[in-house]
A and B are shown apart, each in its own frame.
Chain A
Amino acid sequence: MIDATPSGTAAKIDAGIDLAQVAARSRGYWRTVWLRLRRDKVTIFFGLLLALVFLSAAFAPWLAPGDPYATSMIRRLKPIGFPNHLLGTDELGRDMLTRLLYGGRLSLFMGITPVVSALFLGGLLGLLAGFLGGRVNMLIMRTMDVFYAFPSVLLAIAISGALGAGVVNAIVSLTVIFVPPIARIAESVTTQVRNLDYVDAARASGAGSLTIIRVHILSNVLGPVFIYATGLISVSIILASGLSFLGLGTEPPEPEWGLMLNTLRQSIYVNPYVAALPGVMIFVTSLSFNLLSDGLRSAMDVRL
């Protein structure tokens, strides 16, 4: 690299010093993000915890000691540490550990799917509103405001209730309530970026709107929207569990944390620790998502 600079010893020495500085400073965006993330112990810890939850749900059939649907009338509501049932049994004598592992599959699916679909839908709407501005912006954003007028939990319950119980309907209703906040973030960032000089400079280079969005807008909008969406996953898991708890999400024999919490709530005086287990799982998972998104937010800030 040094040889490519103009000849002369002075120039070579200068270049050498500069190169050392460059090597220390300029590593590319994602590498910098990773280096910053690595120093953040809290984020790393909760990231690993989350990975553990995911893996345990994914490999539930291999990890689980029993069958999540096998009931046993003689071994109902056993406490934690009962022989052959490490985490006890529920009100129908099903193994809690097995059901918690299997339950993670549905709970995570119902938590993440609405956020991902809302990310696409809301992101697209916000991008359009922000980039086109004017009347289109008015139309899209005021429609979003209508959804804001209702408390989100109530709206999710109302939509689920109208559509009927079921996993798909619960996901649809959660998607509907997550689109407005994501669209709002995407819109505000797009509006901000659209008026910056580099977008004008790109337009002055003869680029069309699609190219400008692809190269110059998307890269700036994606970061904040993505971080916000990560934070929404924890809300989504809680709401999905809430819907199941109310009987609007998953239906009985299916293992799902929210539903398990509901069916175990009658037994809370008999066996409080076992009854709390699904709640603990929901709590740990959503907390991890929250802290992870917080860590990502500070690691991905270009200006720091």
Chain B
Amino acid sequence: MPLLRVEGLTKHFPVRGGALHRRIATVQAVDGISFDVPRGETLGIVGESGCGKSTTARLLMRLIEPDAGRVLFDGRAVATAGGISLREMRRMMQMVFQDSYSSLNPHLPIEDTIAFGPTVHGVPREMAKRRARDILAKVGLDPNLFIRRYAHELSGGQRQRVNVARALALEPEIVILDEAVSALDKSVEAQVLNLLLDLKRDLKLTYVFISHDLNVVQYVSDRVLVMYLGKIVETGPVEAIYRRPLHPYTQALLSAMPSMDPRRRVSEPPLFGDPPNPINPPPGCRFHTRCRFAEAVCGASEPALSAGAAGGHFAACHMVIAGSGHSRAPGAVLGGGA
């Protein structure tokens, strides 16, 4: 049983307007996504802005209520009879936010910020404070120097370390890192990333690592999940996806990845246009409006997530599904040499 299992998670935000404040449209922020995170692994979630990455994180933490689907923690459904309570889930699963500044209360000293979670869960104040000192040392900040400081007295990297400490203070098993290093500059980003990897090893943590930075995701993840307009387009082991991406969207993303190698140059943009409006996503495959392999079938029917290669490598593309009607599908007669 994986530590975290997500089944058909869906969130549609109503767009209200008009004289009577009626629901006039729906943003399909997250639309029926399912995935597993095995214990001790890191799942990287990548995608463009607005593809539903952060909504997924907030749905997992239940900061917003899902419209459909369920989350199983260690085999037990969250907030259902016989399952795990919301409160207990929020001890075992924690989250680090992107904006290190707005995620710290400006009026609380670091000590109180970190000790807040344990106190809420009934740890006596003195013990919570001692735990705050221990954890602060673990994230590489000297407790003697930082314990009485306020958020505005810290640098971005220090603040994000405090945020990590706050998440770890509850001794969680899984930590969701929502763009946790994206706002830091490169050298600090690398330090915090290495800190996260060390902590993962030492505390036997499981990570859900959300980022738009493909290099970072490649560096930290065991498995990767690619999202586009609220749906999963591809998922699989990190090496498989980076070596041989199956979905044209993933291919485009990867070819947009900045490279240090001067021989590997990209002179034309891999993708044209902006993602379509999630209020009215295109029918069929949501990517077909920007896909250079799009054919009639792509606009007509939606491809299911199907096994495209060995090792749990899945993609939602008609070119992967045998007999889908796409000319490049495996076994197709008109195939261009596939």
Contact = CB atoms under 8 A, between A and B. Distances in A.
B138 interface: no
Given A207-B116, A220-B107, A302-B106, A201 B148 contact: no
B120 A205 contact: yes
B102 A198 contact: yes
B61 interface: yes
Closest 4 CB pairs of A and B: A205-B117, A197-B103, A206-B90, A219-B107
Interface in A1-22: 1, 4-5, 15, 18-19, 22
B121 interface: yes
B235 to A, nearest CB: 25
Interface residues of A, number: 29
A201 B144 contact: no
B145 A197 contact: no
Contacts of B145: 15, 18-19, 22
Contacts of B58: 200
B40 to A, nearest CB: 22
Contacts of A52: none
B63 A204 contact: yes
Interface string A161-201: 00000000000000000000000000000000000111011
A29 B150 contact: yes
Interface in A110-134: none
Contacts of B326: none
A215 B116 contact: yes
A205 B105 contact: no
Interface stretch (B92-100, B201-209, B256-264, B329-337): B92-100
Contacts of A5: 142, 144
Contacts of A211: 120
Contact of A26 (B91, B116, B148): B148
Residue among A1, A206, A220 with the highest chain B CB neighbour number at 10 A: A206
B153 interface: yes
Contact of A198 (B105, B120, B142, B153): B105
Given A15-B145, A215-B116, A201 B97 contact: yes
A38 interface: no
Residue among B61, B87, B105, B116 with the highest chain A CB neighbour number at 10 A: B105
A196 B102 CA distance: 6
B108 interface: yes
Nearest to A223: B107
A216 interface: yes
B238 to A, nearest CB: 27
Interface in B85-141: 86-87, 90-91, 94-95, 97-99, 102-109, 113, 116-117, 120-121
B166 interface: yes
12 contacts: A1-B144, A25-B149, A26-B148, A29-B107, A200-B63, A201-B166, A205-B116, A206-B86, A206-B87, A215-B105, A220-B107, A302-B106
B152 interface: yes
A299 B153 CA distance: 17
Interface string A20-57: 00100110110000000000000000000000000000
B138 to A, nearest CB: 13
A202 B170 CA distance: 12
A28 B149 CA distance: 8
Contacts of B142: 5, 15, 18
B117 A22 contact: no
A105 B63 CA distance: 52
A25 B108 contact: no
Contact of B94 (A15, A197, A198, A204): A204
Nearest to A5: B142
A220 B102 CA distance: 13
A275 to B, nearest CB: 49
B95 A204 contact: yes
A29 B117 CA distance: 22
B103 A26 contact: no
A142 interface: no
Contact of A203 (B63, B109, B113, B121): B63
Contact of A302 (B61, B107, B148, B163): B107
Nearest to B63: A200
Given A22-B149, A29-B150, A303-B152, A204 B104 contact: no
Nearest to B21: A138
A296 B141 CA distance: 34
Given A204-B95, A206-B120, 5 more contacts: A28-B109, A197-B98, A200-B58, A203-B90, A211-B120
